[in-house]
Amino acid sequence: MKEKFYDYIQKLQDTITSKLEEVDSKAKFQQDFWERPEGGGGRTRVIENGAVFEKGGVNISKVHGALPKSMQTYFGVEEADFFACGLSLVIHPKSPMVPTVHANWRYFEMYDKQGNIVDQWFGGGQDLTPYYLFEEDAAHFHKVCKKACDAHNPEFYPNYKKKCDAYFWNAHRNEARGVGGLFFDYCKATETMQMEDWYNFVTEVGNSFLDAYVPIVEKRKELPYTREQRDWQEIRRGRYVEFNLVHDKGTLFGLRTNGRIESILMSLPPHVQWRYDHHPEKGSEEERLIEVLQHPKDWV
């Protein structure tokens, strides 16, 4: 399974980066290969200063070795070896009219001292973070997510949508990071879902990503915007940074397993503002966004 899924994410990385380069029409992804001293490595691709995308990364990694002490405590296990692979992406567009997007699809195995698999699971999801709220864009993103889920189980979308709203919650701000999407983790074999079934589900979600995001980019990338709207985007990006550094488990896992720091922190946008006690004007589009972030909606 681990080789099958790693082969899939290598091809998915190619598909996604090719399409995003086509959409941008100016910038190309820079590629770096890196190795982890304890075992494994990855292929990082970053795009910067494009016509559409200010900064973005589409990274794959495959790491293995002894589970660090900090992660043993986290998983509640004794000494163990592990294998983890996944694709993680974050795209920060230049225009505040185009939303930031994040996605991740991953697979994990844990082994006993004899090398037998004692645990394995899939995880992942995709979510949208707009700076100006176009409700039809949020609905489109969620409809694509729902379609991918419904092909496997009608309970998946409402369940994983709810988990996404709960996970991407900036508790210290009492607001969501964005308008959500899907979040699933610890997807293990059961009587009704074998690992092959989970593979089929996760890859269906992965294959849906471009359909969920690219039409929104194409629709909004030429819209005019002001310096004030750009300022708002940078203020909201600050909240994005706060979530990734304070709450995000993926960032934590990467840092605690000696992952490549540049690849882990590529999710951070290049231009950000933190203004003291900033509040949007009453009745403004900015306030309308905050209202939705504080009270997550059902988009489908």
Tokens standing for 286? 């900015």
Tell me if residue 102 is catalytic: yes
The string of DSSP letters for the chain reads -HHHHHHHHHHHHHHHHHHHHHHHSS---EEEEEE-TTSEEEEEEEEES-SSEEEEEEEEEEEEEEPPHHHHHHHT-SS-EEEEEEEEEEEEESSTTS-EEEEEEEEEEEE-TTS-EEEEEEEEEEEEE-SS--HHHHHHHHHHHHHHHHTT-TTHHHHHHHHHHHHTEETTTTEESSSEEEEEEEE---SS--HHHHHHHHHHHHHHHHHHHHHHHHHHTT----HHHHHHHHHHHHHHHHHHHHT-HHHHHHHHTT--HHHHGGGS-SS----TT--PPTTSHHHHHHHHHHS-----
Q: How many residues does the chain have?
A: 300
Distance of CA 53 to the CA centre of its chain: 16
Q: Which residues fall within 8 angstroms of residue 254, CB to CB, at 6 or more apart?
A: 260, 263, 264
Residue of 64, 92, 102, 142 with catalytic role: 102
Can you read off the two tokens belonging to residue 265? 């922190």
Catalytic residue ranges: 102
